[in-house]
Amino acid sequence: MFREGGDGCNRWVVLCLGLLNAVLLIAAVVLGNNCAKVKEGSFHISHPAVTQLFSELDFLQSNHSDVIEAEEEAKKALERAIKNHEEIKVKIEQLKTIGDDFWKQMESLRTVKTNLQSNISTLEGSCGSCLPGWILFNSSCYFFSSTESSTVTKNWHNSRADCVRRGSDLVVIDDQVEQRFLSSNIENMKTSPRWWKNGFWIGITDRETEGKWVWINNVTEVEPRYWMDGEPNDSGHEGEDCGVVVSSPFNPWKTRYDGKCQTEDLHWICEMPSR
């Protein structure tokens, strides 16, 4: 009885254990399925913050290459900027050198300008002036030899040589205004009671061709009215080939006669441009 009862009890225990294992197996399977479902469901979480986080992550990943490319472009732009900066520095130095040279030239030009202004002032101060003893008329200076010495007279050739020594030449009468100026001046320079002795040599002669009166500047005289009545007459065996001007208060236009170039000694009139 005991063995039978014992065997029956064992069988019952075995049966209970088998049922328990079956229940545990079923429970394990159910729990496994539930865990799988939970795990699978974890990938479908729809929380807004998590969803936005994944979206931003995807955006960052998709734009990573753009960021790297932008970084490379920024590096290149920086390198170009540095290079341009260096080039600008070089140009600035060059411009500074040019500027220094420019200011040096400006200072030099200012000095030249100052000197020119000084020279202009000097020239303006002396412009239109004559040497002492000379008379200014229009743009010419005139020297009447009688003002220097009332007794010294010369022939035509020596008179001209004296003018040349003074840096001038015998006077050339160009127009009526100059004719009247000379006539009015020599009127007060008489040194002899003989009218022809009060004459002054002038720069006209017909030595080359008789009757063709030519001024020393190679201009041929074509106005005969300045000759006194009956002049030029080439009187005497020596001939009269050089022009003389005298004072004529009655007719200032008829003031010339022809004199003996070599043997007649008279005063003379020199002319040169004013300074």
Q: Is the pLDDT of residue 92 over 60?
A: yes
Percent of the chain with pLDDT over 90: 38
pLDDT tens per residue across span 66-86: 767 777 787 788 888 888 888
pLDDT interval class at 51 (50, 70, 90):
confident
Q: Is the pLDDT of residue 90 over 60?
A: yes
Q: Give, in order, the Cα–Cα distances in Å from 12 to each of 6, 9, 16, 20, 94.
A: 10, 5, 6, 12, 113
Rounded mean pLDDT of 202-207?
95
Look up the CATH architecture of domain 135-273. Roll (3.10)
Q: Which two tokens stand for residue 96?
A: 């500074």
Rounded mean pLDDT of 112-138?
71
Residue closest to 240 by CA, chosen among 272, 270, 266, 218: 266
pLDDT at 45: 47
pLDDT interval class at 156 (50, 70, 90):
very high
pTM above 0.75, yes or no: no
| Cα(256)–Cα(258) distance, integer angstroms | 7
Helix, strand, coil shares of the chain as percentages rounded to 5? 55, 15, 30
| Cα(144)–Cα(134) distance, integer angstroms | 8
pLDDT at 117: 60
For the chain, the domains span 135-273
Rounded mean pLDDT of 22-49?
59
pLDDT interval class at 115 (50, 70, 90):
low
- Average pLDDT of the chain is 81
pLDDT at 99: 77
Q: Which two tokens stand for residue 164?
A: 């040349």
pLDDT at 145: 97
Q: Is the pLDDT of residue 57 over 90?
A: no
